[in-house]
Amino acid sequence: MHTPRKKAAYLNAVQFKVGNAFGWRGTLNANSRVDISESPCQVFHLLLIKPTRYDDEGYPIQWVRSSIPSNSLACLNGIALDVAARRILGADVDIRISTFDEACDVINVDALANTLKRIGHRALVCMAGVQSNQFPRTIDVSKRFIQHGIPVCIGGFHVSGVLSVVGKLTEELVAAQNLGISLFAGEAESGRFDDVVKDAWNHQLKPLYEYQNAMVSLENQPQPVLPTELVKRNFGSISTIDLGRGCPFQCSFCCAEFIY
């Protein structure tokens, strides 16, 4: 008898074997969504990535169609679009946003990094909404970008939750910083993401951006949004939105108070 976990692993394996045989696997390749067209300005890419997680055998879990889009990715994408529209790096810098969800996207890191290097474009990788079970995958992907000289900043539930609950950087977070990865804790609205982008452009990323104790008002903030081509990667071409953040209760057994 197959356990539910074994059945899920089996279905995932079948999808990839069948997908490879019929060429469906290629439809997951997301590199083509990065705008590498010429520009009279300097070009700075913000590569926003929602990482997947590994299964019990160490394979990244990815599907031809994702079931639920990432609200964290939608929030960061809306903030990044606002950053680009305001041209915070100056009129002579073209900020371009590319948004990926590893649940249904395959990013060829080496090919993308080599292309950007060849055409003289710079980039910042932002790992969005990273949960604890996604952190190992996040580090593995981040290492590959770091090896190409592309800076990485990791934000999301794991970083914010650890700092809120434990009160300090734990071993895996310190190890990430030692790799040259920047960490972001808290909410990114109200100009906070501006600081990250500016620092990355100036080669001055901080090891930690800590905003846990300073909540922001959500009034007049950029609206969460995902690009149409990514929404179409979901079943039914749907998207979702959180209508609020946090929780009015403070239950001792629940982490929602600390990470949402």
CATH number assigned to the domain comprising residue 153: 3.40.50.280
Considering the domain boundaries, does residue 17 fall inside one? no
**Residue 31 pLDDT grade (very low, low, confident, very high; cuts 50, 70, 90):** very high
Question: How many percent of the chain have pLDDT more than 90?
Answer: 62
Average pLDDT for 119-126: 98
Number of domains within the chain: 1
pLDDT value of residue 1: 45
Considering the domain boundaries, does residue 19 fall inside one? no
What's the pTM? Answer: 0.86
Q: What does the alpha-carbon distance between residue 258 and residue 212 come to, in Å, rounded to a whole number?
A: 9
Q: What does the alpha-carbon distance between residue 56 and residue 133 come to, in Å, rounded to a whole number?
A: 11
**Residue 25 pLDDT grade (very low, low, confident, very high; cuts 50, 70, 90):** very low
Containing structural domain, residue 96:
27-259
pLDDT value of residue 29: 81
Considering the domain boundaries, does residue 8 fall inside one? no
Considering the domain boundaries, does residue 2 fall inside one? no
pLDDT value of residue 237: 66
Considering the domain boundaries, does residue 21 fall inside one? no
Tens of pLDDT, residues 178-196:
999 999 999 999 999 999 9
Of 2-16, 105-119, 205-219, give the lowest mean pLDDT range: 2-16
Tens of pLDDT, residues 208-235:
999 987 778 888 889 889 988 888 877 7
Considering the domain boundaries, does residue 1 fall inside one? no
CA distances (Å), origin 255, targets 132, 163, 166, 247:
12, 12, 12, 10
**Residue 19 pLDDT grade (very low, low, confident, very high; cuts 50, 70, 90):** very low
